[in-house]
Structure 1
C-alpha cells in the first residue's frame, strides 16, 4: 500500500471536497461570464458546500465558518444575479468557504484521523459517498445540459434545506 488512505476514507472524501470548494471559489473570483452564468456557478458552489457540510458537520462546532456560510447561502438563494447584494453575499460566502478550507476543515480532518480507526473512517466515507450518490445534484453550469433533469436538484428559495434533506435521507432499496 502507498501509505495514503483509500478513496472511501472519510478524510480523503473531505480533503477532496476542500480542493473542489477552493477551485470553485477561484473560478468565481476570476469574475468571468455573464451574471446568469455566475449565478449558476454560485448555485453549484452552494450545492457542493451543502454536500460537504452535511458530511463534516458532526465533527465541527456549531459556530464556525460553515455556520456563517449557511446563513450566506440562504440569503444568496433569494438574490438575483443582477441585484447589488448578489456580489456582496457571494464575496462573503467565498471568504467563509476559504477560511473553512484553510483552517476549520483541516482541523476537522485531523480530529477525525485522531479519533476514528481506519476501518471506521472507511465506513463513514462509504456512507457519505452512498448518500451523495442517492441524492439529486446540481451540476456545474458547463455540465447542466448533459445531466438528466430528473437527477438535478434545482436552486431557488429553500434549495439549501431541500439539498440537506435529500442528503440526510438514507437511500432506499
Structure 2
C-alpha cells in the first residue's frame, strides 16, 4: 500500500477483494470437505464476488469475466452440492474469477488510478465499505413482509439478486 493512500482507498479495497477471491478459489480447488461444506464455501465465494462486482463494475466493460461469473453464479445458486452440474459450474466460476483477478481486475485498478484523484479514491473506498456494512442489515424489498430479516441474505435461489439489491440500496440510501 502506498503510504499516501488510506486503508479505505478504493484501489486498496479492491486489491484486498482480489486476494480474498483468489484465496477462496484456492480453497475450493483443493477439493476438501463434504459436498455441503463445498456448497457453503461456494456460497461464500459468490457473496464475496457480488460485493466486489458492485464496487468494480463501473470501471469494467460489461462483457468480461465478471459478466461470465454472474451467469455462472445464478446457475450455481440453484444447484445442489450432490448434483453433477455443481462441480462443473463451480469450476467455470473459479476460472472466470481467476481470469478476472489476473487480467480484468488490474485493468480496472489502472483505470481508477488514471481517472480518479486520491481524494475521490478515498471517498469511493469509504462508500464501498459503508455499503457493504449496511447491506448485511437491509431487507430486500420483495422479501420484507414475508421472510425474517436475518434470513433475507442467506444463500439460495435469488441470492445474487438479493445481495446486489441490498448493496445498491445502501449505496443510494
- State whether residues 136 and 152 of structure 1, in contact with CA within 8 Å, keep that contact through their aligned partners in structure 2: no
Residue 152 of structure 2 contacts residue 162 of structure 2 at CA under 8 Å; is this kept in 1? no
Structure 1: segments with no counterpart, 5+ residues: 138-148
CA distance in 2, matches of 1:14, 1:44: 17
Alpha-carbon displacement from aligned partner over 1:14-47 (angstroms, at most 9, x marks no partner): 0000000000000000000000000000000000
Which residue pairs with 2:162 in the alignment? 162
Shift, 1:152, TM fit: 7.4
| Aligned pairs for 1:14-33 within 5 A | 14-33=14-33
- Secondary structure of 2:6's counterpart equals coil
Q: How does 1:40-59 map to 2 (within 5 A)?
A: 40-59=40-59
Cα distance in 2 for residues equivalent to 1:91 and 1:130? 32
TM-score normalised over the length of structure 1: 0.89
Q: Is the 8 A contact 2:60 2:108 kept in 1?
A: yes
* CA drift at 1:172: 9.4
Considering only aligned residues, what root-mean-square deviation do their CA atoms show, in Å? 2.0
The question of 1:126 aligning with 2:126 is answered yes
Match of 2:108 in 1: 108
Matched residues in 1 for 2:26 and 2:59: separation?
Answer: 26
Aligned to 1:154, the other structure's residue is in SS state coil
TM-score (norm 2): 0.89
Q: Is residue 8 of structure 1 aligned with residue 8 of structure 2?
A: yes
Unmatched 5+ stretches in structure 2? 138-148
Stretches (4+) displaced over 4 A: none
Cα distance change of structure 1 residues 86 and 54 upon mapping to structure 2, 3 Å threshold: same
